[in-house]
Structure 1
Amino acid sequence: MTIMNLSQEAQSLNDKMAGLDLAERLSLAASLGGRVVFTTSLGIEDQVITHVIGQNRFDIDVATLETGRLFPETVALIAETEARYGMTINRYFPLKEDVDAYAAQYGLNGFYDSVEARHACCGVRKVKPLARALTGASVWITGLRRGQSGNRADTPFVEYDAERNLLKVNPLADWDIERINCLVADEAVPINPLHSRGYPSIGCEPCTRAIKPGESERAGRWWWENDEKRECGLHVPEAALPSLNSSEL
């Protein structure tokens, strides 16, 4: 299918999904053909999507980026979720040679020193593993919501991802955190215990802190940076990220 056709299909699907519930949105995504992949961070939004996929046995591959620096609670939740829903969550790890190259250039914890170094670390531990997770995929499902941050306020239900040449589906785009919490409580969805300790958004352990009263949901991510629209690079075009010194990263 051409870029123009994919863009048109994304717009058509976006309009169609607006009137569907979550299970119907996921069912539609699963029916689009080709390999359909849901990437989960094991956060509360993603656990809701996993719950609906598991309940309905949708033909959707579930994958996670096991960065090597996740909280122990997050790692434990992977196995708990697999057992609860009788599914396999495919784990994608960073390559050792990439981690070693990063450490040689910036230091293992060099991400604290500059935005460039932090994006390089995310590139090694998240962006490159994501590329492997999405190899051969025609549809990518995410847990993005408009209410998560200002940078995500215009998140559509479906968009054409030109960088990866696939359809990106965000079935929770219009959900707020209250609706998420209600479903979790009603359905006893397993969630990360860190959420109850002030971590609404959970990434790698060295890069995530609990938020303070009045802060946005993602304020605890890369908290030492000043840019309120900071991202890791998974959901923004590569060209929009700071340039990196090493061509290997």
Structure 2
Amino acid sequence: MIMLRPRLWTPPHDATATKRLPALIAELQTRLQQIVRQHHHIKFASSLAVEDMVITDMIVREQLPIEIFTLNTGALNSETQKLLSTACQHWGIRIDEYRPDEAAINAYIAAHGKQAFYDSVALRRECCHIRKIEPLGRALSNADAWITGQRREQSATRTALALAEQDQTHSMAKYNPLADWLETEVWAYAEAQQLPVNQLYRQGYPSIGCEPCTRPVKAGENIRAGRWWWENQDSKECGLHK
């Protein structure tokens, strides 16, 4: 008996999404321009996901005064690290990197073990705090607003995501200009503009985080099913977006 491997997720294609692109692009331009008019120092937190490539492309095309940064957690896949340099070359820009404090990582490992994040949600979130949340605080320290690539469709924890919200933790405005975009629309833009994207997408990774906490998903599964797969669906956030 021949055992067939389960079909992995692949980037979606939708002709109707392509037809909607002109209106979506115009709306995204308007949203970003409004944010620029309302704030003095805006930063865009790019995880280098396909959504973030869309926003980066619009920032560069419109020559908007928005700084772009990424959080290099020290535990990223080689494909993600390669994409960072590829993206900078593609647009001719600099994307600032913020890294975790090495002493804090070493202390965590000494106290709990190198793979303690598998042991409990609390220990996983502590790891996320060291590798993501603390560096994010440094990245946003001199900004008065920040932008993300979050979308409502991504997970059960984001279904009520607003286009604009107040970030109480950092005491500033926060914007999610792709909140109402569908996955098919994001990919339609990426393909139309031939944007650089992570090679892991083609290997069945629709949502990409740190290497030990991300795995491929099967076709038809939730796109964040491969993130912290050992946890319940309602706990799958790192704490960056409370």
**Normalising by the residue count of structure 1, what TM-score does the alignment of the two structures yield?**
0.85
- 1:194 — aligned with what? 200
Partner SS for 2:38: coil
Partner SS for 2:144: strand
Partner SS for 1:143: coil
- 1:182 — aligned with what? 188
**Cα deviation 1:10-46 (Å, max 9, x = unaligned):** xxxxxxxx99611221122122222100001101111
**Normalising by the residue count of structure 2, what TM-score does the alignment of the two structures yield?**
0.87
How far apart are the structure 2 equivalents of 1:73 and 1:55? 25
- 1:34 — aligned with what? 40
**Which ranges in structure 2 are unaligned for 5 or more consecutive residues?**
1-23
Query: Is 1:73 equivalent to 2:90 in the alignment?
Result: no
- 2:5 — aligned with what? none
**Cα deviation 1:182-241 (Å, max 9, x = unaligned):** 1111100110011111111100000000112221111110001124442000001xxxxx
- RMSD between aligned alpha carbons? 1.5
- 2:119 — aligned with what? 113
Give matches, 1:101-140, under 5 Å: 101-140=107-146
Query: Is 1:94 equivalent to 2:100 in the alignment?
Result: yes
Pick from 155, 158, 161 the counterpart of residue 167 of structure 2: 161
What is the one-letter code of the residue matched to 1:58? L
How far apart are the structure 2 equivalents of 1:31 and 1:196? 38
How far apart are the structure 2 equivalents of 1:229 and 1:115? 8
How far apart are the structure 1 equivalents of 2:25 and 2:182? 16
What is the one-letter code of the residue matched to 1:169? Y
- 2:54 — aligned with what? 48
| Larger RCO, structures 1/2 (Cα 8 Å, 6+ apart) | 2
How many residues in Structure 1 have an aligned counterpart in Structure 2? 219
Query: Is 1:83 equivalent to 2:84 in the alignment?
Result: no
What is the one-letter code of the residue matched to 2:110? A
How far apart are the structure 1 equivalents of 2:28 and 2:233? 32
Identity of aligned residues (%): 43
Shift of 1:86: 1.3
8 Å Cα contact 1:62-1:90 kept in structure 2: yes
In structure 2, do the counterparts of structure 1 residues 160 and 19 end up closer, same or farther at CA, with 3 Å as the change threshold?
A: farther
**Which ranges in structure 1 are unaligned for 5 or more consecutive residues?**
1-17, 237-249
- 1:25 — aligned with what? 31
Moved over 3 A (4+): none
What is the one-letter code of the residue matched to 1:30? V
